[in-house]
Amino acid sequence: MGTDRFIRIALPTATVFAFLIAWTVYVHTAEVSAFILPTPMQIVSAFIGLVSDPDIWGHALVTVIEAVSGFLIAVVLGISLGMAMARVQMLEWAFKPFIVCLQLIPKIALAPLFILWFGFGLESKIVIAAALAFFPVFSNALVAFRSVEPGDRDVFTMLQANPVQRFTMLDLPTALPVVLAGMEVAVVMSMIGAIVGEFIGGNEGLGYLAVAMLQELQVPGLFAVIVLLTLIGLTLYTLIAQLRGWLTPWHASVRVNPGMVRKRGNRFSFTNSVRTANQTASSIP
Report the b/e string of 70-81 with b at 16+ CB within 10 A: bbbbbbebbbeb
Tell me what the mean pLDDT of segment 232-259 comes to. Answer: 77
Mean pLDDT of the chain: 81
CB-count exposure of residue 118 (10 Å: 0-12, 13-18, 19+): middle
CA distance 111 to 276: 50
**Residue 166 belongs to some domain of the structure:** yes
* pTM of the complete model: 0.79
Mean pLDDT, to the nearest integer, of 50-78?
92
Instruction: Quote the CA–CA distance of 53 and 278 in Å, as a whole number.
Output: 62
Q: Name the more confident of 77 and 112.
A: 77
Dump pLDDT digits (tens) for 44-63: 999 998 888 888 999 999 99
∠ CA 186-174-280, nearest 5°, is 165
Between helix 89-104 and helix 122-146 the angle, nearest 10°, is 130
Judge whether 200 lies within some domain: yes
3 domain residue, yes or no: no
Q: Give the relative orientation of helices 172-201 and 55-87 as an angle to the nearest 10 degrees.
A: 140
User: Which domain, by its residues, includes 139?
Assistant: 56-248
- What's the CATH code of the domain at 223? 1.10.3720.10
In the predicted structure, residue 269 carries a pLDDT above the cut 50: no
pLDDT average, residue stretch 204-209: 88
In this predicted structure, the answer to whether residue 13 has a pLDDT above a threshold of 50 is yes
Whether residue 39 is contained in a domain is answered as no
Query: pLDDT at position 244, please?
Result: 84
- φ, ψ dihedrals at 102, nearest 5°: -65, -35
As for how many domains the chain has, the answer is 1
pLDDT at 239 over 90: yes
The pLDDT value given to residue 202: 76
Q: Give the pLDDT mean for 110-133.
A: 87
